[in-house]
Amino acid sequence: MNDSEQAFIELDDISKVYMMGDVKVAALSGVSLRIARGEYAAVMGPSGSGKSTLLNIVGGLDVATSGKYLLEGVEVTRLPDAELARIRCRHFGFVFQSYNLFPELTAIENVMMPMTYARVAPAERARRGAELLDSLGMGHRLRHLPSQLSGGEQQRVAIARALANDPDAIFADEPTGNLATKQGQEILDILEGLNERSVTIVMVTHDEKVAARASRVITMRDGQIDSDRRVAAPATSAATPAEAEA
CATH number of the domain at 95, please: 3.40.50.300
User: Are 7 and 1 within 8 A, CB to CB?
Assistant: yes
In a domain, 166, yes or no: yes
In a domain, 73, yes or no: no
In a domain, 8, yes or no: no
Strands (E), the chain: 9-20, 23-35, 40-44, 66-71, 74-75, 92-96, 169-173, 200-204, 216-221, 224-230
Domain that holds residue 184: 38-63+80-232
Rounded to an integer, the average pLDDT of 19-47 is: 95
* Side-chain half-sphere CA neighbours of 229 within 13 A: 9
- Find all residues with CB under 8 Å of 162, minimum gap 6, and list them: 93, 94, 95, 170
In a domain, 218, yes or no: yes
pLDDT digits (tens, 9 = 90+) for 183-239: 999 999 999 999 999 999 999 999 999 999 999 999 999 999 999 999 876 544 444
In a domain, 180, yes or no: yes
User: Are 215 and 54 within 8 A, CB to CB?
Assistant: no
In a domain, 156, yes or no: yes
pLDDT digits (tens, 9 = 90+) for 58-88: 999 999 999 999 999 999 888 898 999 999 9
Q: Phi/psi at 223 (nearest 5 deg)?
A: 75, 10
Q: Which residues are registered as beta bridge partners of 43? A: 204, 218
Min mean pLDDT across 79-88, 126-135, 145-154 is at 79-88
- State pTM to two decimals: 0.89
Q: Is the pLDDT of residue 96 over 70?
A: yes
**How many domains is the chain built from?**
1
Q: Phi/psi at 199 (nearest 5 deg)?
A: -80, 130
Q: Where are the alpha helices (DSSP H) in 44-106?
A: 51-58, 81-91
Confidence of residue 6 (pLDDT cuts 50, 70, 90): confident
In a domain, 110, yes or no: yes
In a domain, 31, yes or no: no
